[in-house]
Structure 1
């Protein structure tokens, strides 16, 4: 039996190599980060980058093998390198073949809250004209089950969707009946403040495996300020609803989402502590979106991207401290980016999808039968801009809706591999396209990248994650556990 050759047999002695596609970005301290075509990255001193591109980097250099492993350079005969790159590319883009998974049903615009930063044109509780009807729900379900995706998620939104709970029951039972033949992986989510969640409603959610996605902005005073309602008891109702939902539906069947308001900016540790105190295992430090009442009440303009990034970095540092102290806790936006940075998987988060996740990852069925490419598209329409309206379930077929000009144009014009400045950006493999945001803010689907707050946020967070991983090995190991949970 022949033995394997020694390591020396696999080390080039000629120094001949060719460069594979990569991009780079200068970091603080004279280093650069290189990213390859699938988002794998490497740190190099700037002078070593120069030697690399001049084909002067010797095989004996301490970073040579790493650059070869990261598919940034390859030697003659390295056919496996190209095959691995192709495999990783297919893996990263494989979710596109499944098409639309998330289907949002806006069952009512009525709401019992009056959040100043609300992105929806909410209506008062007694305006039943803003509820989805059974006829519209049936037509919407027809479209849902035309999706080729084996996994179908139906998410009920509002307003406060519990104000039209009978329709939720109708849709759930109709979908379950259809799924007897369809045999899809069917999931249901209700996005609710929990303020109106009775034990009967929660029992129904338990019996039909419905997940609850709620809202918590922080401690009681902050939550009540951000999410006012009659009685000024928004927080108390949330906590009561949370406890009963965990008891009846299941502890892990309830999640919470926060929104960073102007009042939140100086209180990130308080917010995180509240999530920890209430037993949540993570938080999404979410910025405001420039839609609906968030613009009308000037909430969106009340802090800028730099202030949000400071808020975010302080929060992430604190979360890392908590983990080092033995308190497991995740920051979900970081985790989405880290999954793209440290694995070959794309988590399919709509805002960081490329091509844009509008329509092909999620689609919205409004209470009136109108169909939109994304939740933000619906919000934009409420502000008078119908650019991303795809059709109406009472008037248009599945084919007409998903070949609508508003969708195809958005996908074509926002594909980052062909967008000016995105093509040269080292963070492009981790980023996404948000044509709705750029259209709403700048009047076109590309926007001006140096001025884009979307770009500033994404690159700002990505750079900070890189800085942490470069200087803190324990934090990097923590991030690896986030993206590869047991």
Structure 2
């Protein structure tokens, strides 16, 4: 019979018990493999193993497993599931340990190629006055805030030193299209360098589409450039969120999306939603706007607590629980459309589902461990400054240079990516080694975000019990599992989201 540790309230000391107190005589047929568990509903709980496999079971099952009350005789189906999914083993070392290790390496294989996303802040100029803008934009005529050709050249040289054979060059602003000649220069230079270094480069322009011209679109078509824009929902929401003096921002965005689709193809145009206080009141209407415009995906993302967006608290600050309510209502409407036969997926949910239901890594920066900053993304600012992530750049706009890694004019590749600042950040990269994350059932589906920790809690390490990052992701993951467990139609819909097939 297993020895049970003395309950905490009965101990006379805070020291750990002796080793033999935890030793198992193992008379009941199996050994425990590492797993964690979390309550899903009042009656159900989820078990998650070290490689992200999960089982939804009756509440109390984790306790029964630990007490070795489950056997092939009294519960053969559950016993078989636990063996097959690496929660328990009939031998001290599982017979398929090599399979487990291979699957774990696969989950972390995004580290093999290191940094793939390179963001070039090509200009700070912008003709919109969005109240949630996270950077200190400048008016459209101030060309001194454009990235210089020399900084573009050095940034490209650093990008070519990435171990990854596949890199993404993303142009941001301000409004990137206001410096389109610089974008053309950067793409033409990159095409030449890519041939020398054997790189495959994906080009993305983030734009509000207002400065869009036929010439720009033809160039994007010729060079297979992806367009990423913003759409915050119906006209009255979009225009209030994304104000353009003297013009209808919504109409410019919608007309621009239509032109991009006709020339570049629907698959090469995407839109992002930013959820403001106003947006929270209209979850279904926002989803319906995306459906009306023919989108097959929508990204329900909260407003970021970075940069100048924090100054407009009356419009931009809200409680995480309020966002979660918005998310659930919008997700429910999206699921209704899928049940009715219209395929549309929610992107954040799909990212989590890929981590839960496939053996492959996901390249989404915010949900990676080790963290995506530096490991997956780097930012070259218009002035030559280098930052660990786009959020880090936003902090610098508020004169906080905690995540400033160096300068294009001064620092080498090794100094930027393997320097002292990177070493400091590496200590808080992995959620496997963070208190509160290390024993969380959803660890393998979540990530580490030291920039968010620092911004919201003034500490790189962070404190999980009061973290809005944890609060949001834990509830979203729990809710996704609850939905799949409660309705097999929803599980089928979610699996279709992963494959992209209606």
Question: Structure 2-normalised TM-score?
Answer: 0.92
Q: Which residue does the alignment assign to 1:6?
A: none
1:300 Cα shift? 7.0
**Given the alignment of the two structures, is residue 147 of structure 1 paired with residue 165 of structure 2, yes or no?**
no
Tell me the SS of whatever aligns to 1:109: coil
Cα distance 1:180–1:49, how it changes in 2: closer, same or farther (>3 A)? closer
Distance 1:135 1:388 in 2: 23
Matches of 1:76 and 1:455, distance apart in 2: 36
Distance 1:358 1:299 in 2: 30
| Residue number among 314, 320, 323 corresponding to 1:305 in the alignment | 320
C-alpha distance in 2, partners of 1:134/1:264?
39
Is 1:48 equivalent to 2:61 in the alignment?
yes
Offset, 1:91 = 0.5
The corresponding residue for 1:447 is: 462
Structure-2 residue corresponding to 1:422 = 437
Deviation at 1:78, TM superposition (A): 6.8
Aligned equivalents of 2:314, 2:195: Cα separation in 1: 46
Mapped to 1, the partners of 2:231 and 2:95 lie a distance apart of: 49
Q: Does residue 460 of the first structure (1) align with residue 475 of the second (2)?
A: yes
Residue in 2 that maps onto 1:404: 419
CA shift at 1:249, angstroms? 2.0
Distance across 2 between alignment mates of 1:48 and 1:451: 28
The match for 1:121 among 127, 136, 147 is 136
CA distance in 2, matches of 1:300, 1:353: 30
Query: Where do 5+ consecutive residues of structure 2 fail to align?
Result: 1-26
Q: CA deviation at 1:27?
A: 2.5
> Which aligned pairs between 1:184-333 and structure 2 lie closer than 5 A?
184-298=199-313, 302-333=317-348
Distance (whole Å) between structure 2 residues aligned to residue 66 and residue 166 of structure 1: 59
Q: What 5-or-longer segments of structure 1 have no aligned partner?
A: 1-13
| Aligned residue number for residue 23 of structure 1 | 36
Distance 2:136 2:376 in 1: 24
Structure 1 residue 341 displacement after superposition: 0.9
* Equivalent residues of 2:31, 2:92 under 8 A apart: no
For 2:113, the equivalent position in structure 1 comes to 98
Aligned pairs for 1:77-96 (under 5 A) are 79-96=94-111
Name the CA distance, whole Å, in 1 between partners of 2:82 and 2:154. Answer: 53
Deviation at 1:484, TM superposition (A): 3.0
CA drift of 1:301 comes to 5.6
2:52–2:356 CA contact under 8 A, matched in 1:
yes
In 2, are the aligned partners of 1:224 and 1:232 still within 8 Å (CA)? no
Task: Provide the secondary structure at the position in 2 that maps to 1:59.
Answer: coil
Partner of 2:183: 168
Is the 1:289–1:300 Cα contact (8 Å) retained in structure 2? no
CA distance in 2, matches of 1:358, 1:174: 26
Select 1:334's aligned residue among 349, 358, 380.
349
Structure-2 separation of matches of 1:187 and 1:414: 26
- Which residue of the other structure, out of 42, 57, 63, is the alignment partner of 2:70? 57
Q: Distance in 2 between matches of 1:21 and 1:218?
A: 44
Q: Which structure 1 residue ranges, 4+ long, deviate > 4 Å from structure 2?
A: none
Q: 2:36 is paired with a residue of what secondary structure?
A: strand
Partner of 1:476: 491
- In structure 1, which of residues 349, 356, 363 is the aligned counterpart of residue 371 of structure 2? 356
Counterpart-to-counterpart distance in 1, 2:297 and 2:100: 33
The number of residue pairs the alignment matches comes to: 473
Contact 1:31 1:45 in 2 (8 A): yes
Distance 1:17 1:345 in 2: 29
Q: Distance in 1 between matches of 2:478 and 2:315?
A: 24
Give the aligned CA root-mean-square deviation in angstroms.
1.4
Q: Is the 8 A contact 1:206 1:250 kept in 2?
A: no
Query: Residue 21 of structure 2 aligns with which residue?
Result: none
Q: TM-score, normalised by structure 1?
A: 0.95
Please state if 1:32 is matched with 2:53.
no
1:277-296 Cα shifts (integer Å, max 9, x gaps): 11111100010001122101
Change (3 A) 1:15 1:481: farther
SS of 1:98's equivalent in the other structure is coil
Task: Please report how far the alpha carbon of residue 50 of structure 1 lies from its aligned counterpart in structure 2 after TM superposition.
Answer: 2.0
Q: How far, CA to CA, are the matches of 1:59 and 1:334 in structure 2?
A: 36
CA offsets per residue over residues 27-79 of structure 1, 9 Å max, x none?
22232211100111112223332221011211131311111111100112874
Q: Is the 8 A contact 1:116 1:299 kept in 2?
A: no
Question: What secondary structure does 1:57 align onto?
Answer: coil
1:318-375 deviations in whole A, cap 9, x for unaligned? 1111100000000000000111111111212100010110011010000011000000
SS, match of residue 256 in structure 1: strand
